[in-house]
Amino acid sequence: MRKEKPAASPDAYVAAIDGWRRPLVEQLRAAVRGAAPFEERIKWGHIVYFAGGACMLIRAEDARVLLGFWRGKRLTALEARMKTGGKYEMGRIVLREGDAIDTETVTKLAAEAHRLNVEVGDPTARR
């Protein structure tokens, strides 16, 4: 299996997406960027948002788009589709072709994720 070279920038990441996933990723990205002063960069092959540490991510795959949160367990009241599990307090919303998510919901999730990172600190830091 050959690994593809990661995108050089978040803009290049989005430009490489095709089909139904691209407008969805554009919507998610705009909502996140408007929610809080994140640092946005490519990390682990997808778009990751930082606020004193890894905070959230957008990952486009062949059949789905993931909106992930390092403190997703604390965000379940804001979005019923949030699935939790894994390291840290990870949570994710899985969106497939035909699924939609309200921009206002994404903005609220992103703002709360940012606030948690600012108040609690880097979720990946050893305690």
The tens digit of pLDDT for each residue in 36-58 reads 999 999 999 999 999 999 999 99
User: Is 126 domain-assigned?
Assistant: no
Residues 6 or more apart from 67 whose CB is under 8 A from it? 28, 56, 57, 58, 92, 93, 95, 101, 106, 109
User: Is 83 domain-assigned?
Assistant: yes
**92 is in which domain, residue-wise?**
10-118
What CATH number is given to the structural domain containing 82? 3.90.1150.200
User: Is 64 domain-assigned?
Assistant: yes
User: Is 45 domain-assigned?
Assistant: yes
Q: Where are the beta strands (DSSP E) in 30-126?
A: 39-43, 46-50, 54-60, 65-69, 83-84, 91-95
CA 56 to chain centre: 4
Mean pLDDT of the 22-37 span: 98
User: What's the number of domains the chain is made of?
Assistant: 1
pLDDT, tens digit (0-9, with 9 covering 90-100), for 82-92 = 999 988 899 99
